[in-house]
Amino acid sequence: MPQTFDIVVIGAGPGGYATALRAAELGLSVALVERDATLGGTCLNRGCIPSKALLTAAHAMHTARWAPVTGLQVQVTGFDFGALRDYRMRAVDAMVKGLAGLVAHRGITVFRGQASLAGARQVTVTPSPGCEAVLRYIKAGVAEPVGDWMRLDAANVVLATGSRPRPLPGEPFRGALIDSTQALEQDTFPDSAIIIGSGAIALEFASLWSQTGCEVTLLIRKDRVLSGWDRRTGMTLTRELKRAGVNVVTRSHVTAVDTGMNLGATVHYTREGEEGERQAYAQLVLAAVGRDPVTDFDWLAAAGVALDDRSFVVTDPRGRTSVPDVWAVGDITAGHALAHRAFEQGIVVAESIAGLDPRPVDETTVPQIVFSLPEAASVGLTMDQAKAREDLVGVGETVYPMMGNARMMMSDAAGSLSVVTGADADDPDTQRVLGVHMVAPDASDLIVEAQQLVGNRVPLAQAARLIHPHPTFAEAMGEALLKADGRPLHTR
């Protein structure tokens, strides 16, 4: 006997569970189908939460090493890896259990199993690998076997199947060549590591491992990390990584990775403008060159759900796919592969299904963050992107000298902050904040204000009138806005 719901969500990562939570809040009946034993997807279980738990330890190590400069005598003897593992697992467990409790409280029915579209409004659920039956959860943590298959009928189906780590071309993950999930599961930190990539995952592991005394080599293809970001931000963070002891090899191209019976791996690579091939050896090699959408299902193709040339599900601005009543959110849609973007997508889809008229997600207002040491954050347009827009005029960039900020001077970090401004072509006299890009110890929190200014299209003159407390890292934003508005206070 099939069960009927207003919405069936396939995948319980950030996009999936956000859709479910908001839909239930709006009074819709919701089923959430998840293949894994716990809710939360990659973010809670294998990504955001465990990695930030480890980075918290790295920050503590960094602070302890800087403490003698302030007169505090601290002796650091190393890590208790068992305690660190327990700390990481407690953080994940607390978040996962909290989510399960919230889902149950909202009246959402959870099924553990493998889902497939049997029709535009029908989902078949079969047991997950290692399970003999499909499991149903109405109460958090209380499993009820419901047979070796289950049919769910739905007025709407939401796809939220997430993404997986992308391997190097022709080099599958194996042995010492690992992905980010395997890197998080290491019980000890490596003595030496080669990291291939220049995005958030690569840079966070470079910061983490270098703080523990690991000899880190970072192989990047461009002249700076975060090459798709604002140039000043990427150059600043590249410099700071080098200052922290990371060996950054620019303009490199990996040709092969040797992994044998012994521990470790050898990476073969070339460098632009140089003759011959080079080699580097390390205990671990982390390939962090991006993630691919998990859309390679036969049932997805059979259902007629359109994909683009990169295997992302094609949607309209509110998440509708090519199949009526089938929606998609999260990493399987083109755009920033970030949990907070997926949260908002889920809210938009749920509200659209409920008959509301939500504003679609604007990719230019999605903050990007790297939890490195120091952190990097960005929102909105870069200078080059703004200049390329025909609907913008009077585009300019204001650079604030971060070392002029009192709190920055007190920290063991350098940084950068730039504000991009411009006016709409049909309102050339009103300058607005179009983008903010920064490197600073607390950039992940500082970018929140910038997102509000960019997302709400606040006129620069109004933004510059906002009062920032002194002395704080956030004061740098206020000073930069004043400078952009032609009224610098503590800067020239």
First to last CA, the chain: 73
Other Cβ atoms less than 10 A from the Cβ of 347: the count is 21
Q: Is 198 annotated as a binding residue?
A: yes
Q: Is 416 annotated as a binding residue?
A: no
Q: Is 162 annotated as a binding residue?
A: yes
The token duo for 363 is 């990719």
The token duo for 207 is 């910061």
Q: Is 339 annotated as a binding residue?
A: no
Q: Is 201 annotated as a binding residue?
A: yes
Q: Is 70 annotated as a binding residue?
A: no
Q: Which of 59, 253, 268, 470 is catalytic?
A: 470
Q: Is 51 annotated as a binding residue?
A: no
**Are residues 475 and 465 in contact, defined by beta-carbon separation less than 8 angstroms?**
no
Q: Is 163 annotated as a binding residue?
A: yes
**DSSP output for 177-234:** EE-HHHHHT-SS--SEEEEE--SHHHHHHHHHHHHTT-EEEEE-SSSSSSTTS-HHHH
Active site residue 253: no
Closest CA to 373 of 160, 59, 35, 49: 59
Q: Is 40 annotated as a binding residue?
A: no
Phi-psi region of 22 (alpha: psi -120 to 50; beta: other; left: phi over 0): alpha
Q: Is 52 annotated as a binding residue?
A: yes
* Residue 485 φ then ψ, to 5°: -85, 5
Phi-psi region of 394 (alpha: psi -120 to 50; beta: other; left: phi over 0): left
| Beta-strand relationship, 150-159 and 122-126 | antiparallel
Which secondary structure element, helix H or strand E, spans residue 353, and what is its range? helix 339-353
Q: Is 99 annotated as a binding residue?
A: no
In whole angstroms, give the CA distance from residue 328 to residue 315. Answer: 7
In whole angstroms, give the CA distance from residue 121 to residue 488. Answer: 59
Location of structure tokens 């585009």: 395
**Are residues 323 and 343 in contact, defined by beta-carbon separation less than 8 angstroms?**
no
Q: Is 132 annotated as a binding residue?
A: no
Reported as half-sphere exposure (CB side, CA atoms, 13 A), residue 418 has a value of: 19
Residues making up the binding site? 52, 161-163, 197-204, 290, 331
**What positions carry a catalytic annotation?**
470
Residues making up the binding site for FAD? 52, 161-163, 331
Residues making up the binding site for NAD(+)? 197-204, 290
